[in-house]
Amino acid sequence: MVKIRLARHGQKREAIYRIVVQEASQPRNGKAIDELGFYNPNTDPATIKIDVEKANEWITKGAQPTTVVRKLIKAAAMQA
């Protein structure tokens, strides 16, 4: 099963997340099929940059977004 989820990067206590399309059996920071954008919760307000069209394309192909990623995609669509 293909999922759209967060991959954690950055330093300790200063996490930056990439939104990636990945096989569900892969580890969190494992090899990704595609990268859709990033999320930085450390800024005020949080920085969300996602290619919404590409994300919707993956969802129509059957990729399942996690609950957090679903909220981030919705927030990014509102900003654009």
Q: Report pLDDT for 29.
A: 87
Which residue type occupies 44?
Answer: D
Residue 58: what are its φ and ψ, rounded to 5°? Answer: -65, -35
Which residue has tokens 């069209």? 53
Q: Report pLDDT for 79.
A: 84
Q: Report pLDDT for 13.
A: 93
Domain that holds residue 6: 2-79
What's the CA gap between 65 and 30, in Å, rounded? Answer: 17
The total number of structural domains that make up the chain? 1
pTM of the model: 0.90
Reading the chain (80 residues) residue by residue, the pLDDT tens digits are 999 999 999 999 999 999 999 999 999 888 999 999 999 999 999 999 999 999 999 999 999 999 999 999 999 999 87
At 12, which CATH number?
3.30.1320.10
Residues 6+ apart with CB under 8 A from 56: none
